[in-house]
């Protein structure tokens, strides 16, 4: 028995004053309307309506039940309207995850521009190096950098790519010299980034001779956040592989120098991950569209700007 539907029929019968009038309004038969109320009474084991051939009248129990039905149906209608509105109009809380350094450089500015267009969306951004479990942790969208994605059942959209470059400070280079090839790095103090994707003691380069891999000696400094690596390199602690989005501000202000410009390393794809395409909430849909419109162009512009910092 569809109790909710029978409640709707019962309320309509009372409002119309007859089974026939209710049936006409609901575009159904009088027999159906009568059976719906009878089923409701049997379920409750209570008479709701007194019936004669000419009229119907609420019982005392029916009057009380009618009030509850009207309240319940009003709540249901409100819930359905809110759910439908969520599909049509971006509003409410949007819970987003992004990788730490990438999020600082690209996602935070994107949030600001998104909220200029959709001020009713309140974004809760979590920056973390790990990839979260979207369903268990309640995230709507995750922005993840990875070489490839495991089969997770999540919907993914590739938004671009990023890579790392070798950098050092001007003071370090003045003291220790400038490496000309990846092999020359063996003679330098190499700071190591700890990530779940790439081994910290091996640097693999793509360059004019294809792929070249060097093995580093014992680390004098290890860190797991690209921003901290950039600070360490800029302070003269050694040579480091830094993602371009963490290196570019240092290249702009001269605290970092790009070495081996013919070589790149640790290229990763940027993915937006979210649970489902079906009945996608408007705030998630518009956030993904905003990222798709903005991030690829921003990444490409930074990579184009990078060329002017190549050390000749």
Residue 250: half-sphere exposure toward Cβ, Cα within 13 Å: 28
* DSSP tag of 183: G
Task: Note the pLDDT tens digit of each residue in 154-167.
Answer: 888 999 999 999 99
Average pLDDT over residues 280-298: 91
pLDDT band at 123 (very low <50, low <70, confident <90, very high): very high
Q: Which two tokens stand for residue 122?
A: 């309140």
What's the pLDDT at 94?
93
pLDDT band at 312 (very low <50, low <70, confident <90, very high): very low
Query: Is 295 or 310 the better-scoring residue by pLDDT?
Result: 295
What's the pLDDT at 98?
94
pLDDT band at 83 (very low <50, low <70, confident <90, very high): low
Residue 273 and residue 153 in contact, taking contact as beta carbons nearer than 8 Å:
no
For residue 258, CA distances in Å to 24, 152, 181, 293, 310 come to 78, 37, 13, 29, 6
Residue 271 and residue 206 in contact, taking contact as beta carbons nearer than 8 Å:
no
**Arch. (CATH architecture) of 92-161+269-303:** 3-Layer(aba) Sandwich (3.40)
Options 3.30.413.10, 3.30.450.40, 1.10.132.20, 1.10.10.10; CATH for 3-88 is 1.10.10.10
The DSSP string of 94-115 is EEEEE-HHHIIIIIHHHHHHHH
Where on the phi/psi map is residue 178: left (φ > 0), alpha (ψ -120 to 50), or beta? beta
Average pLDDT over residues 240-246: 93
Residue 40 has pLDDT above 50, yes or no: yes
d(CA 154, CA 160): 18
pLDDT band at 91 (very low <50, low <70, confident <90, very high): confident
R_g (Cα) of the chain, nearest Å: 32
What's the pLDDT at 194?
86
What's the pLDDT at 192?
92
Average pLDDT over residues 237-259: 94
For residue 192, CA distances in Å to 26, 158, 199, 250 come to 71, 28, 9, 18
**CA 111, 116, 117, 118: dihedral to nearest 10 degrees?**
70
pLDDT band at 84 (very low <50, low <70, confident <90, very high): low
What's the pLDDT at 150?
75
Residue 271 has pLDDT above 90, yes or no: yes
What's the pLDDT at 143?
94
* Cα angle: 209, vertex 211, 213; to 5 degrees: 120
Helical ranges in 89-169 per DSSP H: 100-102, 108-117, 134-137
What's the pLDDT at 308?
84
Residue 166 and residue 185 in contact, taking contact as beta carbons nearer than 8 Å:
yes
Task: Note the pLDDT tens digit of each residue in 185-219.
Answer: 989 999 998 887 788 788 999 988 889 998 988 88
* Cα angle: 124, vertex 128, 131; to 5 degrees: 100
Average pLDDT over residues 112-127: 93
Average pLDDT over residues 95-111: 93
Same fold, 92-161+269-303 and 163-265: yes
Give the rounded percent of residues in the chain with a pLDDT score beyond 70: 95
Residue 146 has pLDDT above 80, yes or no: yes
Residue 86 has pLDDT above 60, yes or no: no
pLDDT band at 97 (very low <50, low <70, confident <90, very high): very high
Q: Tokens 């690596």 belong to which residue?
A: 229
**Arch. (CATH architecture) of 163-265:** 3-Layer(aba) Sandwich (3.40)
217 class by beta-carbon count within 10 Å (0-12 exposed, 13-18 middle, 19+ buried): exposed
* Whole-number average pLDDT of the chain: 88
d(CA 52, CA 23): 17
Domain parsing of the chain, residue ranges: 3-88, 92-161+269-303, 163-265
Of 59, 103, 54, 27, whose CA–CA distance to 270 is shortest?
103
Average pLDDT over residues 262-269: 92
Helix (H, G, I), strand (E, B) or coil at 157: strand
pLDDT band at 73 (very low <50, low <70, confident <90, very high): confident
- Cβ atoms < 10 Å from Cβ of 131: 18
């Amino acid at each position: 028995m569809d109790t909710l539907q029978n409640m709707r029929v019962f309320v309509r019968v009372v409002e119309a004053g007859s089974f026939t009038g209710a049936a006409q309004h609901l575009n159904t038969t009088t027999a159906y309307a009568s059976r719906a109320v009878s089923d409701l009474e049997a379920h409750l084991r209570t008479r709701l309506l007194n019936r004669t051939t000419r009229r119907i009248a609420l019982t005392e129990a029916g009057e009380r039940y009618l009030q509850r039905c009207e309240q319940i149906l009003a709540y249901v209608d409100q819930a359905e309207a809110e759910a439908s509105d969520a599909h049509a109009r971006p509003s409410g809380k949007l819970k987003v995850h992004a990788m730490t350094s990438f999020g600082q450089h690209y996602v935070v500015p994107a949030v600001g521009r998104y909220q200029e267009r959709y001020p009713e969306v309140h974004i809760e951004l979590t920056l973390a190096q790990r990839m979260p479990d979207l369903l268990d942790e309640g995230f709507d969208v995750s922005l993840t950098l990875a070489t490839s994605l495991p089969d997770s059942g999540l919907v993914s959209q590739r938004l671009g790519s990023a890579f790392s470059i070798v950098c050092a400070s001007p003071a370090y280079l003045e003291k220790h010299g400038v490496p000309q090839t990846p092999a020359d790095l063996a003679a330098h103090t190499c700071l190591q980034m700890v990530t779940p994707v790439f081994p910290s003691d091996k640097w693999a380069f793509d360059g004019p001779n294809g792929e070249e891999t060097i093995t580093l000696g014992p680390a004098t400094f290890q860190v797991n956040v690209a921003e901290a690596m950039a600070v360490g390199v800029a302070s003269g602690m050694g040579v480091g592989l830094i993602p371009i989005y963490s290196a570019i501000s240092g290249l702009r202000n001269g605290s970092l120098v790009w070495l081996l410009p013919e070589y790149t390393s640790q290229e990763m794809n940027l993915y937006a991950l979210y649970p489902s395409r079906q009945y996608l909430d408007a705030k998630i849909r518009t956030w993904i569209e905003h990222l798709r419109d903005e991030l690829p162009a921003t990444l490409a512009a930074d990579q184009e700007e990078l060329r002017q910092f190549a050390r000749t």
